[in-house]
Each structure stands twice: as C-alpha cells, then as structure tokens.
Structure 1
Amino acid sequence: MPGLRWRRLTEWRFVLVAALVFLWSSLFLTRRPGPDLGGDEAGWEGCEGEERRIANYLVVMRTSVGARGVRDVIRGRVGEREREQGRSCNMDVVFLFGGLGENSSAVAALARETAETGDIVRLDTVPDAHSRDAPLALHFARTLNQNKRRCRLYRQVIFGQHMHNEERLLAKPSTPAERSKANFWELDGCLRFSNIRDNNPLFYAHYFPRRLHLQLETQLSFSYNEDVITPHDYPYLLGDPQRICNRSDTGEYFAVVAVHSSQRSFDNRILIRDTWGHRKILQKYGMKLIFFVARNSSAPPSEARKLREESDSFGDIVQEDFEEAYKNMTLKQVGLFKYMTLHCSHLRYRFLLKVDDDVVFDLPNSIRLLTGMTRTFPNGVPHRSVFCYHLNEIADVPRYKGKWFVAPGEFPGKFYPAYCSGAGYFLTRDLVGALYRAALHVRTFWVDDTYITGVLPNVIGDVMLYQLPKQFSGLTVQDLERADPVDAYPAMYFFHTGQSAWLFKKMWNIVRKRHVF
C-alpha cells in the first residue's frame, strides 16, 4: 500500500506541475494584445509552410519603362552582396509602375519582363508619372497584402527611384571633386549602389507595414506593452485650453503649427510671430500657432514671470512641468501629442506641422507642395502619413562619443529605422492621437525624431514616411551665410538657421521676396 500511495502522489504531482506549466504559458507566453494593429497570421492563407518568410526589407524601385538595364543592375546587386558575404540578405526588390494608358509597346515589354523575372508590379489605377510617385507608393503599400507577394511579410518597405541609365549606377569616381565626395548607399550590408552620391537612387518614402509589430522586439527592442509604462503625467504650468483650443473654434485649418521652444527663447518666439507666424499670415493660409516649452528650474524667478506675461498676452504657449533638457525633447513631443489629443481633438485641421523655433519656412510654397503631393488622396489627406523636410534613410546607431552617442542599453539594435529629422515635418491628423497612445505603452528613447517618427510608427505599423521633394540640400549655416538660397536653391522652402537671429532675418527676407503677404 505505501507503494500505491507513492505512485498516486507522484501522479498528482505530475498533474499539478502540468497545470502550473499550462497556467504559466497562458499568462506569459500568450501574445499580449496590442493597439488594434492587426493579426500576424493575416495574409498567410493559401501559402504552403515552406513558402512563408518574414523578410527585413522590400525595396520598391521606380524606373523608366525602357530602363531594363537599370533594373538588371539592381537585381544583380542583391545577389552580388549575398555571394560576397556568404549570407542571405533577407530582402526582396520589386519594380513599380502605374498605368501606361495606350502605350501598347511598353505594356507588352513589361509583360515579357514580368514573365521572365516576376518582380514587376503595375497599378493601373494611378498614371505612371514622376508626379505620381507619392500616390503610387501609398496605393502599393495599402494593397501589399492583396498582391501576389502575400506569402512574404516585411519589416520595412522602402521606395526609391532612379531615372538615369545603368552607367550612372556603375560609375566610379574619376575626378578629384568626385573622389572628395565619394559615397555609396548601402542597406543592411546587402544592397550597395554607386560611390558617387549624385548617381545613387533617390529614396523618397518608407512604409512600416501593419502586421509585424510582434516581430519588432527582436529588431528594435521596442515593443507594445499592454500596461501603461510611460504615463506622461506632468501637470501643465501654462496653456489654458479655453484660450488655445476653445470649443467654440469652428474654423478649418490646413495645419496646426506646433513649435518646440524653450522657456528662455523669448527672442525666437518674437521673431516667429513677426515673420512667418504673423497673425495675418496664419489667417490667410489657414494655420494655427502653438509653442510648447518645459520648465527651467535653474533660471531666476523673473524668467518664469516673463513667460507667464507672454502667455497672457498672446495665448499661444503650453508649458509642462518637466525640466528643459536636450534629452527631454521626446517628452516635449509626447506632451504636444497629449495636449492636442486631450484638449484640441475638436479642432478641424488636416496636418500638424512640428518645427523648431529657429526655423524659417516658406509657408505658401510648402502648402502648395504638400497639396500637390496629396491631391489624389481622398479629401486631399493621405492615411497615417508623415511628410519630412529631410527623410533619414536606415542608418547605423551612433556609438561614437559625442552629442548623439547612444549606448547599447538605450537602443540595442544596430540600425535606426527610417525617420524624419526633427527640425520640421508634417503629420496627418490621424497620427497625432495614435502616436500619443502608443508612446504610453512603449518605452521611451531620448532621440526624439528617431523615436517619434521612426520607432513609434514601426511599432504601431501602417505608417508612411515621405520626403518632400528637394527640401534637403545638405546646406550648413555657413553655406547659407555665404550664398543666397533663392538663386542656388529656388525650390527650397525650409531653412534651419541654427539659433542665429541674423540668419533667421536673412532667410525671412528671402522668403518675403517670393510672395506678397
């Protein structure tokens, strides 16, 4: 009998251990729900198990219809890098075309190439023209799950164009001037292009797909948590909602301009209100101006009093109770989203324009440029999109000592995702609340532009980043001091003046020459 009791006790122990293991797996191994991001299994239907693959990148290239040689060079580059490194690049390349109309010879040539290579995608609903690159990218991204590549899921989709011939892609630097600025574009050590910068493809948009948020933890070490982990519960010191976003405001705005400023930057705010942020200019072009600042505890009490007086006079300042510091810029941007979500959600606006307080921008031409890019979208506003004055491509995380040094514990990944430089970008209205809610559930990161326009869009998914054409020239403050950008860069509408009041005024005078305000 003792042996029987021991066997029964052992059996009960086994059942108890099995139950505990099941309970533990249910609590900790089951996928936690996210912010309505879609299921990872969607789109696998009809795929055999061995065909399923999660790839890092899908590169979508725009080329001229007749540029078969360019496409062959790009196709060969992926295989070339794979052979050199002895590893899979884990990326795909496709070539995107719009509708070709009555051009039967082009249609036939692409049909033959498609049968041969299988990497041609045509969207007949959008005309095949350079001015349609943005809508083509958006429509492709939105239909990515319905096309023939449904057995492939991608972490990022990268859109580029190269309208030159293959010799430009293969060119080597031949002059001292070319050698001095030799550069190449490389994606994850796999897809490398010319070491002459001007010959490289232009990458103009990045899309973060909707379904892959659960895989991103291993890539970016930022994942969505069910619980709120960064509550952003700082109280407001200034910013009466009844004055800034009054419920009786029934106006329709093209954009709300949200300016990152600091408590002591009185002169910068005066410059903005006297120039492109003047009340009459804002009214003429349908803009609303709000400044966002933090607290400067090291400043004398007179500075805080002066800020309060300024707020009372203009009614356009929001201040939250956290310390003003370079590494708190992310807090300021999340606070901006919080204020717009909680207190200004009734406002009717199409975009939120985030800028720094040392920026001059050509408001009428920026509106014209953005309107031209978005006019093919429903109501002129694309879904969940960011329009960047400078779109940063995927790049190494800076591990060198300096202002932007990032320790592995802060950002463990090797590469930053694509993101917009923080000096200025437009967000569609539907992203403001989505990014705020995501920031509450994703651990924060102090590099604000990377976090706000790269990490968070990567986590929530279904977000497109666009480069506004010709808006980043690589000009330094010294370049602007020596030259007149109206002559050298007539299409530039955005100038970052590096906290130089003299340069700010010079740039504003240039903008004034273009318009009658």
Structure 2
Amino acid sequence: PLPFSHSLLTRRFLSGCASGKFEKPFVVLVIGAVLFGYMTARVSYLVPNKSRCTGSGLVERRLRSELASVLGTYERRMSDTQRPIVNPHAFDYVLNAPGVCKGNQVETVIAVPSRIHSFEARRAVRETWGGVANNTVLLFFFGIVQPADSTKHTPYYEPETKLTPEELQTLLRKESSVYGDIVQENFIDSYRNLSLKSVAIVRWVSLYCPGSTFVIKAD
C-alpha cells in the first residue's frame, strides 16, 4: 500500500490549483506516485502472472502468434531455395554460335528474335544497322518449325514460303554456316513461345558472352 491516499493527493492538488502554488514536497510526491504507477503497470505486463500463462492469456496468445509468424517467414524463405524450378528452360541447341564473343572485347550484344522464313529481313538487318557498330555482336534467335503431322496424308507447308519444315531447316543451316550468327533452340517457334525465346537470349548471353555490358533485344 502507498503511504498516501488518493483523496489526500486530490485535496492537495485542488488546494494548489486554487492558490496557484504547489509545495515542493508535494510535487516530488506526485511525480513519485506517477512513476511508481507506471513502473508497476510495465512490470505487471512484462512479467506474466498465472492467468497470463494459461491458454486464454493475452501474452501467451501474442507470443504464439509472433512465433508462428517468424517460423512461417523462415519456412517460406527456405522453400524458395529448395523447391524445384517451375520452368528450367531445358532446351538444347540445334544451331549455335558459341565462339562469337571469344577473344573479342564485346560491349553490346544485339539479339533479334526472328522467324525462320524471314530470310530477306535478316539480310537487310545485316547490311544496315546490324553491321555498323564496333565491339558489337549481332545474333538471330529461333525455335524450330512446327513438325509435320504424320497422321495427315498431305505434307505441311509453311504458309508464306510454301516450304516444308525440313526445307526451311536446311536453308537455315546454310545461312548459319555463311554468317555464323544463328542461335536455335528446340522449342516450337510460335507466337505463344516468344517468352521462351526471350529466356533463350538471356541464357545464351550468360553462357557465351558474360563479359558484355549491354544486351539489346531488337525486333
């Protein structure tokens, strides 16, 4: 119990307000009472009593919640490093140009996603903006042509060139042997797979030209 009562403090406070003066001992007493009450409240909160240690206690529920949050964050971070990769981009190279950066100070790689039958467009790029910069490598990236359906009696022809997939691939191989700037992976070359072609660009640069400063994807 405190050595003073609530009513005594109240009377002293009202008397001081009426006279406009507070005795120094009284001020010290009030400050001490406030500090004592504050520390008592803090200690009773920080040190759990019997009721707080039960399943319905506020402190226990709060501690359980915080512990579950910490453990959940740890498990999520661990799962990010251990769970399997959704799309490992496990495609192989059909045509490649692995040595174009070797022994050269390549500053910029210009990567152009292209359709196999766009032979004239690639020729125009090589003869204009694709062949004028120094310390620059120009590459064209492809998938493979949709294979012919063996269940159909008529052969498949590419709509624009009227060539079969085999004929298109033969022409692309010849182009690769002449210019050495063709990179082809064995996914189907289609509009839906443009994201795979973008990943193929990043993969190729990281494997064969990691010292380059810039990578420009140009359509």
In the superposition, the TM-score normalised over structure 1's length comes to 0.24
Corresponding letter in the other structure for 2:101: C
Q: Which residue of 1 aligns with 2:133?
A: 282
Counterpart residue number, 1:329: 194
Which residue does the alignment assign to 1:235?
92
Please tell me whether the aligned partners of residues 32 and 226 of structure 1 are also in contact (alpha carbons under 8 angstroms): no
Residue 318 (structure 1) aligned with residue 183 (structure 2)? yes
How far apart, in 1, do the equivalents of 2:79 and 2:130 lie? 39
Say whether the 8 Å CA contact 2:106–2:137 is kept in structure 1.
no
Q: Which amino acid in structure 2 is aligned with residue 261 of structure 1? A: S
Q: Which has the higher contact order (CA 8 A, sep 6+)?
A: 2
More strand as a share of residues:
1
Query: 1:302 and 2:167 equivalent?
Result: yes
Of 140, 162, 178, the match for 1:291: 140
1:261–1:293 contact (8 Å) kept in structure 2: yes
Note if contact 1:257-1:289 (Cα within 8 Å) is conserved in structure 2: yes
Q: Distance in 2 between matches of 1:26 and 1:226?
A: 17
Give the Cα separation in 2 of the matches to 1:268 and 1:28. Answer: 51
Equivalent in the alignment of 1:354: 217
In the superposition, relative to structure 1, how do residues 308 and 252 fare at CA in structure 2: closer, same or farther (>3 Å)?
closer
**Displacement of 1:277:** 1.1
Per the TM alignment, residue 268 of structure 1 is displaced from its structure 2 partner at its CA by: 1.0
1:245 aligns with 2:94: no
- TM-superposed deviation, 1:245: 2.9
Which structure is higher in helix share? 2
1:417-456 correspondence to structure 2 within 5 Å: none
1:240 is paired with a residue whose SS is coil
Deviation at 1:32, TM superposition (A): 1.8
What are the equivalent positions in structure 2 for 1:182-193 lying under 5 Å apart? Answer: none
Structure 2 CA distance, aligned partners of 1:335 and 1:27? 35
Unaligned runs of 5+ in 1: 1-21, 36-223, 357-517
Q: Report matched runs for 1:195-234 at 5 Å.
A: 226-234=83-91
Give me the whole-angstrom Cα distance separating, in 1, the residues matched to 2:167 and 2:122: 18
The 3-state SS of whatever aligns with 1:264 is coil
Write the distance in 2 (CA, Å) between the matches of 1:314 and 1:264.
16
Number of equivalences = 136
Q: What displacement does 1:227 show?
A: 2.7
- Structure 1 segment 132-151 matched on structure 2, within 5 A: none
What is the CA–CA distance in structure 2 between the aligned matches of 1:34 and 1:252, rounded to whole Å?
Answer: 38
Structure 2: state its 5+ residue gaps: 1-66, 148-157, 159-163
TM-score by length of 2: 0.55
Number of the residue aligned with 1:256: 109
Structure 1 residues 340 and 34: CA distance shift in structure 2, 3 A: farther
Task: Report whether the alignment pairs 1:269 with 2:101.
Answer: no
CA distance in 1, matches of 2:112, 2:98: 17
The residue identity in structure 2 corresponding to 1:270 is: R
User: 1:252 Cα deviation (Å)?
Assistant: 4.2
Structure 1 distance, partners of 2:82, 2:140, is: 31
Q: What amino acid does structure 2 have at the position aligned with 1:237?
A: V
Larger radius of gyration: 2
Q: What do residues 126-160 of structure 1 show as CA deviations (whole Å, max 9, x unaligned)? A: xxxxxxxxxxxxxxxxxxxxxxxxxxxxxxxxxxx
Q: CA deviation at 1:229?
A: 1.5
> C-alpha distance in 2, partners of 1:232/1:264?
24
Deviation at 1:342, TM superposition (A): 1.6
* Aligned amino acid, residue 30 of structure 1: E
Q: How far apart are the structure 1 equivalents of 2:206 and 2:88?
A: 14
Change (3 A) 1:273 1:296: same
SS at match of 2:141: strand
AA of the residue aligned to 1:304:
Q
Distance in structure 2 (CA, Å) of the matches to 1:277 and 1:34: 44
CA distance in 1, matches of 2:106, 2:187: 32
